[in-house]
Amino acid sequence: MAEATLRVFRGGPEGGGATDYKVEVTPGMVVLDAIHSIQAHQAPDLAVRWNCKAAKCGSCSAEVNGKPRLMCKTRMDSLPLDQPITVYPIKSFPLLKDLVTDVSWNYKVNKKIQPFTPKPNVEWKMYQKDIDRAQEFRKCIECFLCQNVCHVLREHDLHDHFGGPRFFVRSAGLEMHPLDGADRIPMLREELGIGYCNITKCCTEVCPEDIHITDNAIIPLKERVVDRFYDPLTMLFRKFSGK
């Protein structure tokens, strides 16, 4: 049976480094299986988040050979086994221990978004063609890989001014809900800082749910912000109406 070496980050906020573990590779094995095997036989205190092991909960995000992935969806036989497989925590959030990071910032950002607010006296009927768009955004499993690769967060650390792709996706799901009556455009501009996004599509590339984050969520929202705040006619109207 083939053997693989996993080079796993061990440590916490004060520091740490990679430790090598040898693991037997079985057919169909995924990286999360290998991590579990290390826990069971070599390092019972190796910290990792996971829940379903079926790519439905989005808990086991990590950087495998430098690429942000769900460990439960990354097959060992898709990786070169002649060199160590590196497994590191996602980078955009503060490290807690080993592969576990502090993602609580995301829950704080989420609270800024006005929840679903039905239009007054709405009739609860919707047609499939009208909800297809919003349903795409509701596939999000909150793995936060998009947040992890977003330059605005990863390189520029603008966590205080920017919401990140995950919350543009959530906002898009609400804004494009056919029966929603709230207006989140000012919030997107001011609080979630959607203007910082320069549509490099890194988020879309890593989405395990294949949500077209940039094309279907961010760009349409940016257009709505622009129409509202930067359209010359609207600006003129706003100036005179005082709105």
Give the nearer residue to other proteins in terms of CB position, either 97 or 212: 97
Give the nearer residue to other proteins in terms of CB position, either 39 or 234: 39
User: Residue 172 Cβ, how far from other proteins at the closest point, in Å?
Assistant: 13
- Closest listed residue to residue 148, CA positions, set 219, 215, 88, 98: 88
User: Residue 129 Cβ, how far from other proteins at the closest point, in Å?
Assistant: 9
Quick one: which H or E segment has residue 222?
helix 219-230
User: Residue 240 Cβ, how far from other proteins at the closest point, in Å?
Assistant: 36
SS (H, E, C) 78-107: HCCCCCCEEEECCCCCCEEECCEECCHHHH
> Distance between CA 191 and CA 20 in Å, rounded?
43
Which residues, at least 6 apart from 111, have a Cβ–Cβ distance to it below 8 Å?
A: none
Question: Which residues would be at the binding site for other proteins (CB under 8 A)?
Answer: 12, 26-30, 33, 39-41, 44-59, 73, 75, 96-98, 100, 103-104, 107, 110-111, 115-116, 118, 124-128, 131, 134-135, 138-139, 141-142, 174, 177, 180
Give the nearer residue to other proteins in terms of CB position, either 22 or 56: 56
User: Residue 149 Cβ, how far from other proteins at the closest point, in Å?
Assistant: 20
